[in-house]
Structure 1
Amino acid sequence: MPYRVMTVCTGNICRSPMAESVLRRRFAEAGLDGEVVVDSSGISDEEDGNPVDRRARSVLADAGYDVPEHRAHQVTADEIASRDLLLAMTARHARRLRTQAPDEASAGRVAMYRSFDPAAPAVAGPGAVADESALDIADPWYGDRDDFVEALAQIEAAADGIVEHVRRALATRATHP
């Protein structure tokens, strides 16, 4: 049974498909592409059925990433329950996922995507900020190409931490099935 990761943003056409693309490549480079499945969704149905935003597609392609061929969709409670790790792009997305989760175990698998970036502000422990929104990946939708480049940089900065987290989870799963 593969480890299932879902990235989540608002409409599932910008940040979450960008993160899906980055993580797929990073898991493949780590030799985990057969053990980890990555997909994405949105908390809203406003973009339902739409492809990846053209600006996100362009920035991903220019950075050498494969652009996922998918249609945007709204996350379901069943999807939340079936994923091992749900990576929210903002605190608002995380709250929505936790609220929509069918049980506490599912809600506990929700994490802020940028919490895996070693340079991001800490939201737990001594000297930490109290609000998860300090880890929000800015929404590039209303911006220009530079905003999409910035979102991709934030996504890339956390990707290796996510790979290591999943690698540890897989090792634990192997020793404690």
Structure 2
Amino acid sequence: MSTTRDRAVLSRILNPLMPSEDISNNNDVAVDKPIEHEGYAESKELEKQGVRTAEGGDVNAAIEIFTRAISTCDINPSAYNNRAQAYRLAEKNEEALADLNRAIELSEGQGKSGCQAFVQRAMIHRLKGDDDAARADFEKAANLGSSFAKLQLVALNPYAAMCNKMLSEVFQNLREGKECQESK
């Protein structure tokens, strides 16, 4: 039976170009700091309703519900993240960016809300073709524990992707008992 540390070491060996956290402290994304606000509980309930509405396909109604959640507790970064996601689904990227910037500000770029906001903002940067800005946001999210962001960083690095492919081929050949091909 392997421990979390064993799996982290193995992952580091098999994926040497993947960004990694310190294997002695392999924690998931940190939780958000507690929010002390009289409307916070109601805001969270509205968020749940908004998510269900968006999943049901009515993105515009979901945006309205998330807007009510924000009005109820305007310091809840999660509500801004959720509305940004709905804006992205509605192809309103500028509105999504504004909400993501606010979520990052409120979360101080920390915790689950900060991590999600960095990932979403990076995706918008990628859509716009701004890989440098995307890379910066994916790095921040990766440092907060996002596995998805770590994979995206590798995808944005053509040299790392090429090396990972070559290393993968070497391991595949070893598993299949094939000899390595020498370049001539």
TM-score (norm 2): 0.24
Which structure carries more relative contact order (alpha carbon 8 Å, separation 6+)?
1
More strand as a share of residues: 1
Give the structure with higher Rg (CA).
2
More helix as a share of residues: 2
TM-score (norm 1): 0.24
